[in-house]
């Protein structure tokens, strides 16, 4: 969702040669292939095929394999997005080989160093030359960390570029009928749940505590839960997830998921991207974490950070369901044109050789 709008705009530049590199960190068909298909993205030019493993093993393999890509293509610029292991691994390789790095979604901070994503964000931003930012607080974070202001660009949110482009198509999805959420074409009330953070899944005690809260919410209305493969294994071990109104599904495609999200009365999540998308859609969101790296979704949007305490989660959910959800607006520059602004900056300032076909490799 972050790479698709960038790739489209970048490849519209007549003098750019762009290569899409897929590290293979996310390799499950339900979590990778379906997104390429639904977003209309071409197959990756290069797939490193890293696959599963510990974060250290994945990072080592990505770096070894991506180094060969850099040496072969000799790009002028590597663009990385987000905060996953691939983001940091490709950034370090490019930097070591003297290739400029642009980081899309720079400056976001939870200030929780127990989150692997936080380490990835901080280290990537420490060496990237072009820092593309989604919200004002991220600009402040980067300046506080000593990054020069002339390398920081508040451009908006590429996730919202994809959301705006594909939401009309998503509304034609039959996922509501498939899950029994509609009468005719009208959706009844339901909640949508996502969980994938290790801090919520890897501790059976934490997962049980969260499920207790979710089942109490499911007493009020159906709760749709697209289950990550890792979470599914934990639920099987626990013998949990059998509430009659808790509807466990396979991981959903992008179109099916944003269709459900746009119709939900309430979304419960530990995902940063979902916090942003619900804010853009005006849908109430409860974040099942103690912090967020996307504070604009709280200060301006529809998001509330409610932590993991079941009583607090249930109380906040019941307040939303009673019609007392917090009002929210869409942050500035979340207008569907972030990718265009990013490419404008790169056309103007990136270190492309004059007189030759330039090469940009969105990571």
User: DSSP string of 35-83?
Assistant: HHHHTTPPPPSEE----SS-HHHHHHHHHHHHHHHHHHH--SEEEEESS
Catalytic-residue membership of 196? yes
Helix, strand, coil content of the chain in percent (nearest 5): 45, 15, 40
Backbone angles phi, psi at 299, to 5 degrees: -70, -30
Structure tokens given for 238 = 């626990």
> CA-CA distance, 294 to 118, in Å (whole number)?
12
22, 103, 196, 263: the active-site residue:
196
Helices (H), 145-228: 158-170, 175-178, 198-201, 204-218
Burial class of residue 361, CB neighbours in 10 A (0-12, 13-18, 19+): buried
Q: Which one, of 330, 332, 311, 314, lies nearest residue 322 by Cα?
A: 314
Separation in Å, CA 300 to CA 125, 183, 297, 326, 329: 25, 33, 6, 10, 6
User: DSSP string of 157-174?
Assistant: -HHHHHHHHHHHHHTT--
Residues that are catalytic: 196
């Amino acid at each position: 969702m972050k790479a698709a709008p960038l790739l489209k705009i970048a490849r519209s530049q007549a003098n750019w040669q762009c290569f899409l590199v897929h590290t293979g960190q996310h390799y499950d068909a339900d979590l990778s292939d379906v997104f390429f298909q639904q977003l209309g993205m071409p197959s990756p030019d290069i797939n490193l095929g890293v696959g599963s493993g510990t974060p250290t093993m994945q990072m080592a393999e990505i770096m070894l394999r991506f180094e060969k890509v850099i040496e072969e293509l000799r790009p002028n610029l590597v663009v990385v997005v987000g905060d996953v292991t691939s983001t940091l691994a490709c950034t370090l390789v490019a930097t070591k080989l003297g290739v400029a790095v642009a980081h899309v979604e720079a400056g976001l901070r939870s200030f929780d160093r127990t989150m692997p994503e936080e380490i990835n964000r901080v280290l990537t931003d420490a060496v990237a030359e072009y820092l593309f930012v989604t919200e004002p607080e991220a600009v402040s974070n980067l300046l506080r960390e000593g990054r020069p202001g002339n390398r920081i660009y508040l451009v908006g949110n590429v996730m919202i570029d994809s959301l705006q482009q594909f939401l009309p198509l998503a509304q034609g999805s039959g996922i509501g009928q498939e899950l029994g959420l509609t009468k005719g074409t009208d959706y009844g009330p339901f909640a949508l749940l996502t969980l994938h953070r290790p801090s919520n899944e890897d501790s059976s005690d934490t997962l049980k505590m969260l499920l207790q809260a979710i089942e109490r919410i499911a007493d009020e209305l159906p709760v749709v839960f697209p289950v990550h493969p890792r979470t599914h294994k934990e639920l099987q071990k626990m013998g949990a997830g059998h509430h009659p109104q808790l509807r466990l599904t396979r991981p959903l495609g992008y179109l099916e998921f944003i269709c459900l999200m746009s119709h939900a009365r309430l979304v419960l999540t530990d995902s940063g991207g979902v916090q942003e998308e619900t804010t853009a859609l005006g849908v109430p969101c409860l974040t099942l974490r103690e912090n967020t790296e996307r504070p604009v979704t709280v200060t301006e949007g529809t998001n509330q950070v409610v932590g993991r305490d079941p009583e607090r989660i249930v109380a906040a959910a019941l307040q939303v369901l009673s019609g007392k959800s917090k009002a929210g607006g869409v942050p500035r520059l979340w207008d569907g044109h972030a990718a265009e602004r990013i490419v404008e900056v790169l056309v103007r300032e990136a270190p492309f050789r004059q007189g030759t076909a330039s090469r940009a490799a969105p990571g």
